[in-house]
Amino acid sequence: MSDIKINETPVADEQAQPILTHEKSISQKIARGSEAGDILDQQMVMLGIQLVTQLNVLIKTSRIYERTNAALDKPVETMLTLIKTMAQDQPVTLRLQNDFLFLGDSHLKVNAQQMAVATSIIDALNAWKIGGITFSLTAESKDLREFAALFVGLDPENKALEDLQKEITARGIAGIELEEQRQLQLRKNFGTTRNTSPGTTDNKSPEGTGSTDPKAQRKMNAKNGYARVAGSVGALTQSSREGGTASFKQAKRAIQNIIDLMVDDEAAVLGLTTLRCHDQYTHNHSVNVSLLSIALANRVGYPKVELADLGLAALFHDMGKSTIPMEVLNKPGEFTDDDWVAMRNHPTEGVLSLSKMRGITNLPGRMAAASFEHHMNLDFSGYPKLTVPWTISLTGRILTIADCYDAMTSSRVYRREPMSPSKVLNMMLSKSGKSFDAVLLKLFVNCVGIVPIGSLVMLETNELAVVLKPATDKANAERPFVRVITDPQGNSVEHGREIDLTEKDEVGDFRDSIIRLIDNTEYKFDTSRYFV
Ligand SMILES: [Fe+2]
Ligand SMILES: [Fe+2]
């Protein structure tokens, strides 16, 4: 492995933060742009972090205590002092954009200790799809208490932000205003799927406007290909759920198209597997597993025709889940024992569902294997448990790796928290030869890279970058291709430069290096925007 260590973020002690406040605003006394103005901006950012911290305490405390409880006194009072200081000239707005917090237009950069607090607030705001909260001087103790009680009392699962806003008005809560998250823009030409990119709101491709640039064109083709595969798997799953018939022809054509694209530019296609947090998750998972399986099988040396069969088999490896009621699949919270029984049956049910579908007159062995064996594990530690001797097929072994990697890096499978790609890879390597075929796993690491595609990394220059593709030079496997996404101060940059980290300068030193891996899941940062 490389010498890169995964960054562990300690849990923050939110109560222990010193509070930095002033009696009055000092902003009027200081000219913007001056040195003192800069200090003021920095100070506002620090106050902003305090505001986030106290808001977090207020929300958490309100989940436990009534609005009048004394436990709320401290966060409420502190927030009021902060608002008084910060909103002297104009109301102060906390914004959430692309999972980054802002105070007005200033990015609230949080350190490792503050990360847990920021994440907690980001989750809370995201649950309500809140893009901004504005506090003004009219806010009083009762307003903050009422607001927090509503915020935690209503359920964002079955109420919209609009309902929350209406309640706020109805109860006469003053000095607090909510705004919606900005509508994410649909990327042009992204097939016919409804996937939206959580990325930037402009529509320029990083390589320019595109169609004449072969690289941009390849990327666009990959996206369209991905959308087509997702569309066909969606249609087939739906028809199987409804007991209808469907043809696999469309899916097979879409897979073949993907294979052609992958031969051209594997990284562009694999980059799309970082799309993990979209609504149409189930299909994305199937498509991702299919793409990862194809890439792995390609390294194994599968002939092209067999790649298509494998890709198709992988695409429907979770077909058995169509027998599980939607209420169970979408259940918030813990599964019951019965739910788990149904879940554990999906590999076997999958074989049965697939055999019932039209278009497969003779269920190909590979398809059956993909469904039946993908949770078995090499050492049979998984499920289903068998009482007869069994040898797991190559398809099954490939699927186990691709499925586990995608499931663990995503948030929706089995309600787990997602893990960063590098953590998942480390975990999988620790089970090499046990759960996973050791040789295949090694080849898989070659596909996604030792610092996997989609990882967030800090460069020596203090810039953040996202890994676009593995290094071509195996001797320098820890030096992938990256795209810079922030400046050294942490401000996001559009169309950041792409760097081959194996590049050396005149004296033979590497131009740029990774100094550490950043856990993008702890930053709640979706790197997929840099691939779509
Ligand atoms: Fe599965
Ligand atoms: Fe799966």
Note the pLDDT tens digit of each residue in 354-367: 887 766 666 678 88
Residues 200/211, Cβ–Cβ less than 8 Å: no
Q: Nearest ligand, CA of residue 287?
A: 2
Q: Nearest ligand, CA of residue 404?
A: 2
The residue type at 376: M
Query: What's the rounded Cα separation, in Å, for the pair 360 and 363?
Result: 5
Q: Given a cut of 50, is residue 415 above it in pLDDT?
A: no
**15-19, 184-188, 396-400, range with the lowest pLDDT:** 184-188
- How far, in Å, is the centroid of ligand 1 from the Cα of 404? 9
Q: Nearest ligand, CA of residue 289?
A: 2
**Closest by alpha carbon to 279, among 183, 407, 412, 402?**
412
- How far, in Å, is the centroid of ligand 1 from the Cα of 321? 8
- Tell me the pLDDT band of 521, cut-offs 50, 70 and 90: low
C-alpha distances (whole Å) from 256 to each of 250, 252, 259, 406 are: 10, 6, 5, 21
Count of residues in the chain: 532
Q: Over the stretch 490-516, which tens digit does the pLDDT of each residue have?
A: 777 878 899 999 999 898 888 898 888
Q: Given a cut of 80, is residue 373 above it in pLDDT?
A: yes
Q: Which neighbouring-strand residues pair with 179?
A: 132
- How far, in Å, is the centroid of ligand 1 from the Cα of 450? 25
> pTM score > 0.85 for this model?
no
- How far, in Å, is the centroid of ligand 2 from the Cα of 374? 8
The residue type at 43: Q
Q: Nearest ligand, CA of residue 412?
A: 2
Q: Given a cut of 50, is residue 26 above it in pLDDT?
A: no
Q: Which of 13-17, 30-34, 121-125 has the highest mean pLDDT?
A: 121-125
- How far, in Å, is the centroid of ligand 1 from the Cα of 346? 7
Q: Over the stretch 417-432, which tens digit does the pLDDT of each residue have?
A: 667 788 889 999 999 9
Give the per-residue pLDDT at 22.
Answer: 32
Give the pLDDT mean for 388-411.
91
Who wins on pLDDT, 200 or 317? 317
Give the per-residue pLDDT at 408.
Answer: 86
- How far, in Å, is the centroid of ligand 2 from the Cα of 128? 29
Ligand 1 is an ion; residues with CB less than 5 A from it = 318
Q: Nearest ligand, CA of residue 343?
A: 1
- How far, in Å, is the centroid of ligand 2 from the Cα of 290? 10
The residue type at 318: D
- Tell me the pLDDT band of 202, cut-offs 50, 70 and 90: very low
- How far, in Å, is the centroid of ligand 1 from the Cα of 277? 18
DSSP 3-state assignment of 321? helix
Each as own residue / partner, the long-range contacts of residues 121-127 (CB below 8 Å, 24 or more positions apart, any chain) are: 121/52, 121/55, 121/56, 121/59, 122/96, 122/524, 123/524, 124/56, 124/59, 124/151, 125/96, 126/96, 126/99, 126/181, 127/156
- How far, in Å, is the centroid of ligand 1 from the Cα of 253? 24
- How far, in Å, is the centroid of ligand 2 from the Cα of 236? 16
**106-115, 461-470, 511-520, range with the lowest pLDDT:** 106-115
- How far, in Å, is the centroid of ligand 1 from the Cα of 119? 29
Give the per-residue pLDDT at 46.
Answer: 84
- How far, in Å, is the centroid of ligand 1 from the Cα of 240? 16
C-alpha distances (whole Å) from 180 to each of 36, 113, 344 are: 34, 28, 40
Q: How confident is the prediction for the chain on average, in pLDDT?
A: 79
Give the per-residue pLDDT at 300.
Answer: 92
The residue type at 469: K
- How far, in Å, is the centroid of ligand 2 from the Cα of 413? 8
- How far, in Å, is the centroid of ligand 1 from the Cα of 399? 10
Q: Which of 6-15, 151-160, 412-421, 491-500 has the highest mean pLDDT?
A: 151-160
- How far, in Å, is the centroid of ligand 1 from the Cα of 224? 26
**Closest by alpha carbon to 24, among 73, 83, 77?**
83
Give the pLDDT mean for 251-255.
84
Q: Given a cut of 60, is residue 277 above it in pLDDT?
A: no
Query: What's the rounded Cα separation, in Å, for the pair 521 and 99?
Result: 11
Query: What's the rounded Cα separation, in Å, for the pair 158 and 113?
Result: 33
Residue 114 exposed, middle or buried by CB count within 10 Å (0-12, 13-18, 19+)? buried
Share of the chain above pLDDT 70, in %: 77
Give the per-residue pLDDT at 57.
Answer: 94
Q: Nearest ligand, CA of residue 403?
A: 2
- How far, in Å, is the centroid of ligand 1 from the Cα of 262? 24
Q: Over the stretch 49-61, which tens digit does the pLDDT of each residue have?
A: 999 999 999 999 9
- How far, in Å, is the centroid of ligand 2 from the Cα of 407? 7
- How far, in Å, is the centroid of ligand 1 from the Cα of 34? 59
- How far, in Å, is the centroid of ligand 1 from the Cα of 394? 17
How far apart are the two ends of the chain, measured CA to CA in Å?
29
Give the per-residue pLDDT at 149.
Answer: 95
Q: Nearest ligand, CA of residue 406?
A: 2
Who wins on pLDDT, 197 or 427? 427
Q: Given a cut of 80, is residue 28 above it in pLDDT?
A: no
- How far, in Å, is the centroid of ligand 1 from the Cα of 79? 47
- How far, in Å, is the centroid of ligand 1 from the Cα of 317? 7
Q: What DSSP element (H or E) covers 132?
A: strand 130-135
Q: Given a cut of 90, is residue 482 above it in pLDDT?
A: yes
**112-116, 166-170, 326-330, range with the lowest pLDDT:** 112-116
Q: Which of 187-201, 363-377, 406-420, 514-528 has the highest mean pLDDT?
A: 363-377
Give the per-residue pLDDT at 210.
Answer: 42
Q: Nearest ligand, CA of residue 373?
A: 1
Residue spans of alpha helices (H) in 65-160 = 73-86, 115-128, 141-153
- How far, in Å, is the centroid of ligand 2 from the Cα of 277? 15
Query: What's the rounded Cα separation, in Å, for the pair 480 and 464?
Result: 14
Strand 130-135 with 176-180, pairing:
antiparallel
Query: What's the rounded Cα separation, in Å, for the pair 302 and 308?
Result: 10
Who wins on pLDDT, 351 or 473? 351
Give the pLDDT mean for 130-144.
94
- How far, in Å, is the centroid of ligand 2 from the Cα of 375? 8
Give the pLDDT mean for 176-195.
49
Q: Given a cut of 60, is residue 201 above it in pLDDT?
A: no
Give the per-residue pLDDT at 398.
Answer: 97
